[in-house]
Amino acid sequence: MTYKELERKSQVQKLRYKHPEIYNQDKGGGRFDEYESLSFVLLDGLNNLYPKTQSQVIPYFQENEIAWWGYDDKVPTGHMLSSQIQCLNFLFALRSDKSAVLKLAQLFDAEIDDILPPIGDKDSGYIAFEFIYENAKLLNENDYGAKRGAYCTSIDAFIIAKRKDEKVLLPIEWKYTESYLEGLNKALEPRKGKTRQERYNQLIRNSPQLKSFDDLVHSCYFFEPFYELMRQTLMVEQMVNSGIANDFLHILVVPSENKDLLGNNYTFTNDDLQTTWRNCLSDQSKFEVIDSKQIRQVIENLPDYSKLTDYLNLRY
C-alpha cells in the first residue's frame, strides 16, 4: 500500500472506531469534488480542524480573503488527508504566541533570535497562512480570480524572523500524503502550459538561487512538486531583492514515512526529491526538509500546549 492509502485507512479507523471524539462524532461519508459518500471525507469540514482553533481559523480565512482547498473554497474541506488542514492543525494555535513561533523557527535555524509580524495579514500574529505578496508585480501572476490560496503562488505558512539583526523570510511548504506518482514515468512532456513558461522562464534565468538549464521547458521546474518549490523560491528571492528582508530559508515539511514523495526516483535525474531539488539550487543551505514529527516534538516541549499535543498524537 502507498503511504496515502495507509493514512487514509488509519484516519477512517480513528473516525469510526478509535477516536471519533476528535472529529466531533462526525460520521464521514462527505463529498469531495464530483464524488459523494467518501469514507475519508467528513460531513462538516469544521470537524477537520483542531477544536480550540475553529473559532479563530474561520474568521482568519474570511478576513484575509483566503480560499480553502477543495471543491468549495469558502469552507474548510472535510478531506481528512488535506495538507492545508494538517498545516493549520499543527501551526495555527501557535501563531499569536511569539515565544512558541520563535522555538519553531529555531528548529529551522538555531541562530534565529527574534520573530516579527508577517506582512499582509489583517490581524495580529506571527505566522501567516496561504501567504502571497505582490504576485502580479514580482511573479507576473495576473490570472483572473487570483487571491490567497487560489490561482497564484501561495505559501502554506510564512514567518519573518531575525538572525543577528538581519531579517530572514521563512516560507514553509507543507506536504502530507502527496506523492505525484502519476505521470512520473511517462514521456517528459511539459506539465505546465505556454503561459507558465513565459511567466517564469526569464525569472529563473535571472535567479541567483535557481540554476538555469538549457531546456527549461522539460526541466523539473515545470513538474510537481518542483513547480511549487520553484515559484516559492522566486517569490521570496524577489522579496529580498525588493528590500523586504536580507535572506530566506525555504522549508519543506513532509512526513519521513512518505517515501512515495521523498524516495521516488524522479524521471528527470533518477534521484530522490531532496537530491533532485538541491541540484537545482546554487546555495543549498537556503533549503531544508523537516519531518512533521520534528515540529510535533517542538510543540510537545512548549508550555501550555498539552491539549494540542494530545490532539496531534491522536489525529496524526
Cβ-based neighbours of 33, under 8 Å, separated by 6 or more: 70, 71
Is the pLDDT at 187 greater than 60? The verdict is no
The grid cell for 49 is 480542524
pLDDT at 119: 94
Cβ-based neighbours of 274, under 8 Å, separated by 6 or more: 262, 289
Is the pLDDT at 12 greater than 80? The verdict is yes
- Which amino acid belongs to residue 104? L
Q: How far apart are CA 281 and CA 304, in angstroms?
A: 39
Instruction: Give the phi and the psi of residue 150 in degrees, each rounded to 5.
Output: -150, 130
Is the pLDDT at 185 greater than 50? The verdict is no
Is the pLDDT at 316 greater than 50? The verdict is yes
Percent of the chain with pLDDT over 90: 81
Percent of the chain with pLDDT over 70: 95
pLDDT at 162: 98
pLDDT at 192: 56
Lowest mean pLDDT among 29-33, 169-173, 268-272: 268-272
Lowest mean pLDDT among 3-7, 198-202, 295-299: 198-202
pLDDT at 188: 46
Q: Quick check: helix, strand or coil at residue 228?
A: helix
Whole-angstrom distance between the N-terminal and C-terminal Cα of the chain? 18
Instruction: Characterise 183 by phi-psi region: left (phi > 0), alpha (psi -120 to 50), beta (else).
Output: left
Distances (CA, A) of 102 to 40, 117, 134: 34, 12, 26
pLDDT at 181: 61
pLDDT at 145: 84
CA 312 to chain centre: 17
Span 173-179, average pLDDT: 96
pLDDT at 56: 96
More confident residue, 316 or 35: 316
Span 127-154, average pLDDT: 93
Is the pLDDT at 260 greater than 60? The verdict is yes
Span 212-216, average pLDDT: 87
Q: How far apart are CA 296 and CA 298, in angstroms?
A: 5
pLDDT at 47: 98
- Which amino acid belongs to residue 304? D
Sign of the CA dihedral running 239, 149, 186, 191: negative
pLDDT at 96: 96
Span 233-240, average pLDDT: 98
Q: What are 125-136's pLDDT values in tens digits? A: 999 999 999 999
- Quote the longest CA-to-CA distance of the chain: 55
Please give the torsion angle defined by the CA atoms of residues 278, 85, 118 and 170, in that order, rounded to the nearest 10 degrees. Answer: -20
pLDDT at 266: 75
Span 63-73, average pLDDT: 94
Instruction: Give the phi and the psi of residue 187 in degrees, each rounded to 5.
Output: -60, 145
pLDDT at 186: 45
pLDDT band at 297 (very low <50, low <70, confident <90, very high): very high
Mean pLDDT (the chain) is: 92
- Spans of all domains in the chain: 3-315
